[in-house]
A and B are shown apart, each in its own frame.
Chain A
Amino acid sequence: MVMRMFPNRWVVVFILCAASDGVAAADAPDKSAGPQQSNPTYRVVDGYKVDANTMNGFRAWRAAACDRCHGANQEGLVGPSLLESLKTLSKEDFVKTVRDGRLDKGMMSFSSSKTVMDNIDNLYAYLKGRSNGDITRTKVEELK
């Protein structure tokens, strides 16, 4: 993960999944994962103003009612804390979990949700920003 702080307080984060998230190996039988096609980026100002894509990630989080299980602020409820999980979960495993679910643990499959699947990279970017502590509020606003 490379993070650069600009003088105007924009934080730009490039998330290089394989490099930073190798710890999740225990949960990831197919860790051999292919090339990183999309490295989702988020831009955040003042902790809550985000770029359009990350904003869509937040909207997907809300539309899919993820808070029902993961808590209003991703802190965990009946499902695990995403603030913690996203520190170790690889991008591949994130996508796989959201798409296929972990049914026995109560995580549903969102494969039939167009909102979620169309925004999976944006959702990851938003949650990664929350987990990294760069996005300091759950509810974000779009950068104008």
Chain B
Amino acid sequence: MKSTSSWIYGALASTWLLACPGAALANSDVEKLTADPKNWAMQAGDMYNQRYSKLTQINAQNVGKMQVAWMFSTGVLRGHEGSPLVIDGVMYLHTPFPNKVFAIDIDTQKIKWRYEPKQDAAVIPQMCCDTVYRGLAYAEKKIFLQQADSTLVALDAGTGKVLWSVKNGDPKVGAVNTNAPHVFKDKVITGISGGEWGVRGFLAAYDINSGKLVWKAYSTGPDAEMLIDPDKTMTWTDGALKPVGKDSSLKTWQGDQWKIGGGTTWGWYSYDKSLNLLFYGTGNPSTWNPAQRPGDNKWSMTIFARDVDTGQAKWAYQMTPYDEWDFDGVNEMILADIDVKGKPTKALVHFDRNGFGYTLDRTTGALLVAEKYDPAVNWATNVDMKTGRPQVVSKYSTAQNGPDKNTKGICPAALGTKDEQPAAFNPKNKRFYIPTNHVCMDYEPFKIDYTAGQPYVGATLSMFPAPGGSTMGTLTAWDAGTGKIVQSKPEKFSVWSGVLVTDGGIACYGTLEGYLKCVDANDINKELFKFKTPSGIIGNVFTYEHKGKQYMGVFSGIGGWAGIGMAAGLDPEHGTDGLGAVGGYKELRDYTELGGSLTVFALP
């Protein structure tokens, strides 16, 4: 009886959807597309950022037999992050700068249309850590392209024709984009990059049909510009949720530093329809020299929950107050319904650059778990669960040691224990699969003057593998309910590739050498599949079904922050001089070269 009635409600709902096109249906459109595992309709496969697929044809028993089905060269050399989208038999691919877009008919692998924007080359040097771009968004027969020069474009998904275009930032001051746009409801949400140029971060929502700005919420500054209500926006304080109070950001900065204070927003966002909240993180405060910005620098390094319609902040939690290490808080917010310390919880799980894995109650913003997901993390002993603040170890405090002093052996490095490469969640065994960096650093801050459009960094860094081993990364299985590592599979280099987990009982990821690997989802040390793609992988694994056959794909194309040393000009003779930034990654040259391509796999 029960099942019958829910079937009827389901049928009624579908009828309503069919009968009433228009009114805020983008959400329903994307929801419908992502509910069908044959598509890969969002960058993470769904709005919860789970990177999980229900497809089972490729599974733990047969994945070892997987073969290449087809390949496609993007014609672009630099780092390829993100993944294509697949919707109703068409694949939409993006590339790093110059941000080309291809629509490919999956049946014939013929290019249906292509689009290449005209962008000023001056943008190239402004992009931190390679000219990466993390992918497209889709809704209601539109493709959304977020160009490097900050222009947000809507293309007709059928023809590639430009429907509208809007300028999201000012590249002249270093405000550029690398993030994928995300569609939630009838809005396309995008952020901004430029924390190393003194850009003041914000998140913006544009109407998917007109490109009109609906709301814009800054990460720093006056309450009104941050869309913060001093009485209603809550934060975790003294073991409870309390209103943030008036001028919560302004009070934590000296003078006007907040105007060039960073807190950029270039990560992956998620959305919970039942709460009507979207979740994202803000990046490092500018500059990297902490001596120039005393205070907590709110709300940099913060997890935000905002009403998707108004942008109003429901809650905020700052993970790394007064950052001294460049531990941007932008990594993906994964929404999962799990038991936390034995209690069923609507959780938000986040693996921060700072090396702590956080579990929060996504409805309220209550801090539930904060534990290290790499034992090498040494800059803080722990997170005080009452105050929510990390307990900083003086020896590794670049602020306490001061400018022009080299603080050595900080773990993790600025790359973070994890950077943008997104983790996956397996609803079957409730485990998270985290691609990690196992890298440490020396960090020397120095005084820097701000000039608009010029780098505003103020620290010199060198990075090297974490002590006691030669591995620089892992795939780690994590229990977010207890904050414990379940298993950790070492990799020679950082795992800088988004993980995919499926109901076939497998978890798949790429490596910087260029291997696509699949492991047993219940025992990640069991490697079931390994294939060498044309270049190192910093892209995210995705899957789809076409005409009864399951496919799995991944971009290869070395680059990004970890692979940046692979780009032209690396002098191997000097690569390890004083443990240069590329010292540890130098050996990548023995495995791979630049070159962007997509490899698609299937069973024979």
Contact = CB atoms under 8 A, between A and B. Distances in A.
A78 interface: yes
Nearest to B448: A63
A110 B455 CA distance: 10
Interface string A66-82: 01110111111111110
Given A68-B457, A71-B580, A84 B571 contact: yes
A64 interface: yes
A72 B577 CA distance: 9
A44 interface: no
A109 B565 CA distance: 22
A103 B454 CA distance: 14
Contacts of A84: 571
B150 interface: no
A48 to B, nearest CB: 12
Given A78-B567, A103-B121, A73 B126 contact: no
Contact of A83 (B121, B196, B462, B571): B571
Given A72-B580, A73-B580, A78 B130 contact: yes
B64 interface: no
Contact of B125 (A63, A77, A108, A115): A108
Contact of A108 (B126, B449, B457, B577): B126
Nearest to B462: A72
B388 to A, nearest CB: 32
Nearest to B122: A103
Contacts of A78: 130, 564-565, 567-569
A31 B446 CA distance: 37
Interface string B115-136: 0000011101110101100000
A109 B122 contact: yes
Contact of A77 (B122, B577, B582): B582
Nearest to A70: B569
Interface string A102-126: 0111111110111100000000000
B571 A62 contact: no
Given A63-B448, A65-B457, A101-B125, A76 B571 contact: yes
A110 B454 CA distance: 7
Contacts of B126: 108
Contacts of B581: 67, 71-72, 77
Contact of A113 (B454, B578, B582): B454
A77 B569 contact: yes
A60 B122 CA distance: 21
Interface string B439-481: 0000010101101111101001110000000000000000000
A75 B577 contact: yes
Contacts of B574: 71, 73-76, 81, 83
Question: Which among B126, B131, B196, B462 has the greatest number of chain A C-beta atoms within 10 A?
Answer: B462
Nearest to A78: B567
B461 A77 contact: no
Interface residues of A, number: 36
A143 B177 CA distance: 43
B77 to A, nearest CB: 11
Give chain A's interface secondary structure class.
Answer: loop
Nearest to B123: A103
Contacts of A132: none
Interface in A118-144: 137-139
Interface in A87-106: 101, 103-106
Given A75-B580, A112-B454, A69 B449 contact: no
Contact of B455 (A64, A77, A137): A64
B456 to A, nearest CB: 8
A73 B460 contact: no
Nearest to A75: B574
A106 B569 contact: no
Contacts of B460: 62, 67, 72, 139
A71 B463 CA distance: 11
Contacts of A65: 196, 455, 457
Contacts of B580: 71-73, 75
Contacts of A75: 570-571, 573-575, 577, 580, 582
B236 to A, nearest CB: 35
B125 A69 contact: yes
A30 to B, nearest CB: 21
Given A103-B121, A113-B454, A77 B462 contact: no
A136 to B, nearest CB: 10
Of B126, B453, B580, most A-chain CB atoms within 10 Å: B580
Given A103-B122, A108-B126, 11 more contacts: A64-B454, A65-B196, A67-B460, A72-B580, A75-B570, A80-B568, A81-B571, A84-B571, A103-B120, A104-B121, A105-B124
Interface of B: 120-122, 124-126, 128, 130-131, 196, 444, 446, 448-449, 451-455, 457, 460-462, 564-565, 567-571, 573-575, 577-578, 580-582
